[in-house]
Amino acid sequence: MTPDQVEENRTIKWQKAAIRSRRRRHWKLAALTIFLSVVSIPILLAYLWMITIAFTAKTGGVETATLWIAASILTPTLIIYAVIHNIEDLPNKRRWGWGLIGVGFAIGVVLLWDEFHLGNFRFMINPNLVEDIRGVATAGGQFPWVWEAFFNSLFLASVQTVIVVTVSSFAGYYLSRFAFTGRSLFLQSLLVLQAFPAITLVIPIFLIVYWVGLVNTIYAPILVITALELPFFIFIMKGFFDAVPWDIEMSAMTDGASRRQAFRMVILPQVRVGLIAVGVFAFIKGWEEYVFVTGLTTGQSYTVMSTYLYYVSEDVMGVDYGIVAAVAVLYLLPALLLYLACQKYLTQMTLGGVKG
């Protein structure tokens, strides 16, 4: 044997090993993707179903066929989407993904065009839903217009968000920056309160709200939800303030700013991301609230989206799936859009960012 041949026998065949390892990685990835797709399908299917009902169902029944057409478009789209992401050196992945979603959507529109209609959303322009469905002068004719509920919900969620963001950033800043007597005790009790399941307090909270005269007002749920979420949000904001270096503040103050000016003009812009995260969480919480809205009212003094949807589905359920689904879509949409827009902030939250 020549020395060259010996050398060749000894060396590991790197090229081959690399190919083998790459192939194995692809298989593993494919298996994981398939597994996750399979377990995620029940969730996606349920939401897809709601949306198809909202846009296709006619009074009196639910066409099941449309769901299966929609599902048979969604599933291949999903699979190809996953495959595209698994191809390593594909340029413009994002463009491919969006293009694919566009194509899937287009096929869906073509196939379901005959079924598609907006009739279920007529509650948006017709102020009197119950009359529309059951004929004039039936029980429960006092049912409000959906926009009233929508703007009540919007009001509740927005005011609550403003209060939560303001109060928690004030408290978080103070706890992060100031030494005062009882600071560690305060922080520790806050920590215990954060872990404490506040929903157990619904009965005494009702009594307190009753005693201070806020029963049947929309301010009751606003204040209560704010208070219950505060310990958690104060900790988030404190974390953000902790991450801002002291030097920034110091230099602002050497330049003649007061403490409060430094807070307002220098520090707050630094924690913008935190304010957004807290704001989004608070808004979604306020938007979805059900227990404290129904619990803190006696009778039907004001309607928000949660109670509106609840009564629509209770009263109209058997008659008209389509309208109920359309109301649900209208209710879900703002929360969903907000969540998708700010998803990158929310899913990155680490420990301490705990909600149960």
Site for other proteins in 167-186 (CB under 8 A): 167-168, 170-171, 173-175, 178, 180, 184, 186
Q: Which stretch binds other proteins (CB under 8 A): 8-16, 130-138, 247-255, 289-297?
A: 289-297
Piece of 12-20, 127-135, 137-145, 343-351 that binds other proteins (CB under 8 A): 343-351
* Contact status: 45 vs other proteins (CB under 8 A): yes
CB of 250 to other proteins, least distance (A): 17
DSSP 196-258: S-GGGGHHHHHHHHHHTT-TTSTHHHHHHHHHHHHHHHHHHHHHHHHHS-HHHHHHHHHTT--
CB atoms near residue 167 (< 10 Å): 16
Binding test (CB under 8 A) with other proteins, winner from 58, 62, 80, 96: 62
Helix (H, G, I), strand (E, B) or coil at 72: helix
CB of 252 to other proteins, least distance (A): 16
Nearer to other proteins, 113 or 211 (CB): 211
Identify the CA nearest to 283 among candidates 204, 326, 341: 341
Stretch that binds other proteins, among 41-49, 104-112, 128-136, 144-152 (CB under 8 A): 41-49
CA separation, residue 258 to residues 128, 240, 266 (Å):
56, 21, 11
Going 196 to 165 to 335 to 227, the CA torsion angle's sign is positive
Residue 348 within binding range of other proteins, rule CB under 8 A = yes
d(CA 195, CA 17): 51
CB of 132 to other proteins, least distance (A): 20
Instruction: Report the residue number, 5 or 347, with the smaller CB distance to other proteins.
Output: 347
Binding marks (x or -) toward other proteins, 77..116, rule CB under 8 A? -----x--xx------x-----------------------
When asked if residue 188 is in the footprint of other proteins (CB under 8 A), the reply is yes
Nearer CB in complex with other proteins: 133/241? 241
Measured CA to CA, the distance from residue 326 to residue 267 in angstroms comes to 44
How many residues line the site for other proteins (CB under 8 A)?
Answer: 109
CB of 56 to other proteins, least distance (A): 14
Query: Is 238 among the residues that bind other proteins (CB under 8 A)?
Result: yes
> Rule CB under 8 A: is residue 156 a binding residue for other proteins?
no
CB 144 within 8 A of CB 303: yes
> Which one of 11-19, 109-117, 127-135, 304-312 is the stretch in contact with other proteins (CB under 8 A)?
304-312
Backbone angles phi, psi at 98, to 5 degrees: -65, -40
